[in-house]
Structure 1
Amino acid sequence: MKTKPFSPWEQVQLAAKLADLKEDHYRTVLTLSAMLELLVDKGLLTREELNAKADELDNQLDSFISASLHPMQ
């Protein structure tokens, strides 16, 4: 099954959408970083707790991805 290539205008539109997503991603990460800094500054969380939770979630995601790629193991 062949797909027709994007027209130049469709490529421009796709690039613009990607730029918008990158800006949204940047703003989301910036806001999250600011919130985390405030929580640490106020003593509600420690950087060690944040790092431990991030590692835990990363390991869970790795396990989930591995299980979905290799369901019979």
Structure 2
Amino acid sequence: MTTNRVSAAMSEVNLIAQLADLKEDNYQLTLALSTLMELLVERGILTHDDIVHKAEQLDTYPYK
């Protein structure tokens, strides 16, 4: 294997590792957000409808 092939293979391995890290980060953030939303609903601070309404509002923002 030439140096270029080794370098390309290592770059690919690095990219795959970064994607795996992003996937784990995404899972942890989603879990934290879900936990917070559930606690706010359970404690009567927000309703499910409040969350749905706000999500619909934010989904219309122009940064799509």
State the TM-score bracket (shorter-chain normalisation).
0.7 to 0.9
Letter in 2 for 1:36: M
Q: Give, in whole Å, the separation in 2 of the partners of 1:53 and 1:65.
A: 16
Q: Distance in 1 between matches of 2:63 and 2:40?
A: 30
TM-score using structure 1 length: 0.74
CA RMSD between the two structures: 1.5
Once the two structures are aligned, what percentage of the paired residues are identical?
43
In structure 2, what residue type is equivalent to 1:8? A
Could you tell me which runs of 5 or more consecutive residues in structure 2 were left unpaired when the two chains were aligned: 1-6
Shift of 1:24: 0.5
TM-score (norm 2): 0.84
Indicate whether 1:39 and 2:40 are aligned.
yes
